[in-house]
Structure 1
C-alpha cells in the first residue's frame, strides 16, 4: 500500500521530510537556500517549517512515534 492512501503513513512521510530538510539546512544552508521557488522550493519551505515550528514538530514526532509503537 502506498503512503498516499494511508493517512498515518502520509503524516509520517511529511514529518520525516520536515525534519530531514531542517537538518540538511543546518549542514548545507547554501543548497537549500538557493532554491526558494519552483519544485525544489518545497524543500526550502519544509526546512522553514521545521525551524520555526520546531517545538510543534518535535511534539508531532513524539506523538507519531507513540502511535506507531503502541497503536499498530
Structure 2
C-alpha cells in the first residue's frame, strides 16, 4: 500500500488528558501525541509513511486538524 487513501483513517478530538485516538478501518491503533505518532500508526497499518499527507483528504480529523493536540485553553 502506498498511502493512506485506501484506509479509513479517523483522528479523534484531543482528550482532556492529552493525545488523540487514531482509528484505521474501525480499529483503534493507539493514542497519538503528535503527527509523528499518526504517521507511525499508518505505517503499521501498511501505508508508506513517505506518501502519507496528513493534510490530505485521506484522513478525517475531528476536533481540529494535524496542528491541534490539546483542548482549547486546556493544559493537555
- TM, length-normalised to structure 2: 0.26
Kindly name which structure, 1 or 2, has the bigger radius of gyration based on alpha carbons.
1
RCO higher in structure (CA 8 A, sep ≥6): 2
More helix by share: 1
More strand by share: 2
